[in-house]
Amino acid sequence: MSRRYDSRTTMFSPEGRLYQVEYAMEAIGNAGTCLGILAKDGILLACEKRITNKLLDEIFETEKLYRLSPNMVCSVAGITSDANTLVNELRLIAQRYQLNYQESMPCEQLVASMCDVKQAYTQFGGKRPFGVSLLYAGWDHHFGLQLYQSDPSGNYSGWKATCIGANNAQAISSLDSDYKSDMSLQEAIPLAIKVMYKIMDQNKLTAEKLEIATVTRTDEGTTEMTIIPRETVAELITKREQEIAQETQK
Amino acid sequence: MDFSIGIKGQDYVILAEDMNAAHSIILNQQDHTKMLDLNDHLLLARTGELGDGVQCAEYLQKNIQLYQLRNGYEMRSNAAANYIRKYLADSIRSQEPMNVNILLAAYDTISKEPQLYYIDYMGSMATVPFAAHGHGALFSLGIIDRYYSRSMSRDEALSVLKKCIVELKKRFIVNYTSFNVQVVDSQGIHQLDRIVA
């Protein structure tokens, strides 16, 4: 009955909902998971890769991780082509700021600017919202290392640990119990593996399906994204499988 | 016919400027302030066309304030200087260029460093230990060259400033009756006593 209010992005339903925005979030709920953890010495981003065909030519190093600016990195969950458009726009926004102020754009400002753009698609213009949620990891001299998440509605918030994509609610409740605020990256990496293992189909978690990167601040004053090599990821998965085997034995 | 001068020390920047408001040969006002606080740690001294100066300075001040309101923190001194520089660089390439020269005194609260920026109406910018705009610069820079050191105290800097003013009084055709002097440091922007020539 209230289907009449679905097709227009810019109309509220009688219950006060924006259906197009909710449908966009549905689309993301079926997409590859992305996990982010803020540790005291860096930020960890772990992504589930959905495209793992052997025939694919690996031109880009990462499928879901993008560098936005000298001090920010993001990972995406949702419709890939929408994600590409947003990443392009984010990079433009960051560079425009840099052109004006000759300094890297502070993290929250970049996220907020992008979210203002996304919000516009929910209010006017008649175009559908973007079917993408993003996790942003970066550093600035105001607040240090930061982790943000934004969704199709144009809302954003800062997180210590969060998850987007398939099974994100399960992941967040898992992080809720295991996350400690003064964690180091060395502790966060196995935690990420543990959570990913839990939420992904346990038979199918392999190193080929995971993309894990750490975002850290170097002594020279740059923000680096380091992708954890596949062999290391495989070792960590094996270690987790052994832990689970031991736990089930007891 | 304006004159502005800035001297940077270890933890402060002093800016001084004449207080004449003149149009051609008429001196309208002798106690006109041409300095403006852009935020708690940024002081702008403008020389050049009077009307342009007011428009330019107030526009910059309001935008810098807006940045602070939006983001919850002050615009950093280097970011502000570049923002101002770009504003003037865009202006010179427009149909109605602003004829305003600027000296920007700043204290960066994050790196805890004072900074002095020399920006001219075309949008060129330099970070300098001391600078001056106007004809008076021709008389002053040599004097400051002779006596300047980075570790100067504020009183020493003021005495060098006074030497420049004495020289201007003696050899420059324009008569400046008094100078507005302000200082920027970690505590903010402070008014010092006017120097009467």
User: What's the whole-number mean pLDDT along residues A64-79?
Assistant: 95
pLDDT above 70 (res A1): no
A195 vs A209: CA distance, rounded Å:
14
Nearest residue of B to residue A110, measured between CA atoms: B71
A141 vs B contacts (CB less than 8 Å): 76, 110
Nearest residue of B to residue A101, measured between CA atoms: B79
User: What's the whole-number mean pLDDT along residues A94-109?
Assistant: 97
Cα distance from A112 to chain B (closest Cα, Å)?
10
| φ, ψ at A10 (rounded to 5°) | -95, 15
Name the least confident of A112-116, A203-207, A243-247, B177-181.
Answer: A203-207
A73 vs A51: CA distance, rounded Å:
21
A236 vs A193: CA distance, rounded Å:
7
A101 vs B contacts (CB less than 8 Å): 75, 78-80, 82-83
* pLDDT score at A7: 67
Helix (H) or strand (E) holding A19: helix A19-29
* pLDDT score at A6: 65
Nearest residue of B to residue A106, measured between CA atoms: B71
B195 vs A216: CA distance, rounded Å:
52
Cα distance from B83 to chain A (closest Cα, Å)?
5
Cα distance from A100 to chain B (closest Cα, Å)?
5
> Is the Cβ pair B78, A108 closer than 8 Å?
no
pLDDT above 90 (res A59): no
How sure is the predictor about A60, in pLDDT bands with cuts at 50, 70 and 90? confident
Nearest residue of A to residue B86, measured between CA atoms: A100
In tens, the pLDDT along B57-77 reads: 999 999 999 999 999 999 999
For residue A141, give the nearest of B75, B86, B110 by CB distance. Answer: B110
B73 vs A contacts (CB less than 8 Å): 142
How sure is the predictor about A201, in pLDDT bands with cuts at 50, 70 and 90? low
* pLDDT score at A89: 97
Residue with tokens 């990891």: A137
> Is the Cβ pair B82, A102 closer than 8 Å?
yes
What distance lies between CA A146 and its chain's CA centroid?
13
Name the burial class of residue B151, with classes exposed (0-12), middle (13-18) and buried (19+) by CB atoms within 10 angstroms of its CB: exposed
Chain A residues in contact with chain B using a Cβ-Cβ cutoff of 8 Å: 99-103, 106, 108-109, 141-142
pLDDT above 70 (res A203): no
**Which is more confident, A22 or A204?**
A22
Nearest to A138 by CA among A130, A128, A124, A149: A149
Tokens coding B176: 């400046």
| Residues in chain B where the model's pLDDT stays below 50 | none
B79 vs A contacts (CB less than 8 Å): 101-103
**Which is more confident, A202 or A13?**
A13
* pLDDT score at A53: 81
B82 vs A contacts (CB less than 8 Å): 100-103
Helix residue spans in B5-127 (DSSP H): 50-71, 77-92
pLDDT above 60 (res A69): yes
Spatial CB neighbours of B140, under 8 Å, sequence gap ≥ 6? B3, B5, B132, B164, B167, B168
In tens, the pLDDT along A105-127 reads: 999 999 999 999 999 999 988 88
For residue B73, give the nearest of A100, A103, A142 by CB distance. Answer: A142
* pLDDT score at A200: 82
How sure is the predictor about A51, in pLDDT bands with cuts at 50, 70 and 90? confident
Nearest to B106 by CA among B4, B186, B5: B186
Which of A99, A105, A142, A143 to probe the B interface (max B CBs under 10 A)?
A142
* pLDDT score at A54: 80
